[in-house]
Amino acid sequence: MRIKKIVSTTLSTLIFMIFLVLVTAVVISKASGGEPSFFGYQIKTVLSGSMEPGIQTGSIVAIKPGGDMTRFQKGDVITFMNSDNLLITHRVVDASINSAIGEASYTTKGDNNDAADTSAVSSTNVVGQYTGVTVPYVGYTMNFAVSKAGSVMLMIIPGLLLLLYALYSSWKAVAALEKKNAGPAVTGGPDTLPDIVQ
């Protein structure tokens, strides 16, 4: 009986957590127009292994946007837009400032790459600095949540899970009531015979 209660509680908590995560993913994605942000930090998905093992493929990372984009030095990890309009998160291996135009130029490299990136990164293309916060594997879900099909699915699935759980809970409650109302079996004896036979 105790094991059933533990399993039931665990199942309830798991369904609720899935519901919460999925709905939060959809709301954050939609509220920010497809650019999820949380308390001023942008949430980005990492879809390559260039920064492994520190940042795993499929992770989400927290980026702090804004500020002086010429401030970065060797060792900082930045997120920038490359020439193909793709967001990249790599480490700065060299930095130089052109004071005449007030811009910096960064040479970047993925920790897992053998060589530095071929093109230097202008400070005007830097989106923000990596904060060191990363959550593995959640990026795949976030990417799915941003898509139209994902948004629909992530609104339907939690509803179905809650419906199934409600049906299960109702069935369990009805079964418990039936068992309680059934009570112990009544056996006939001498005292009951006159009540039955007229």
List the catalytic residues: 48
Distance CA 32, CA 35 (A): 5
Instruction: Name 140's Cβ contacts closer than 8 Å, sequence gap at least 6.
Output: 45, 58
Torsion of CA 122, 58, 150, 127, to 10 degrees: -20
The backbone torsions φ and ψ at residue 22, rounded to the nearest 5 degrees and listed phi first, read -65, -45
DSSP structural state of residue 34: T
Q: How many residues can be counted in the chain?
A: 198
DSSP structural state of residue 49: S
- The verdict on whether omega for the bond into residue 136 sits within 30 degrees of 0, i.e. cis, is no
Distance CA 189, CA 73 (A): 95
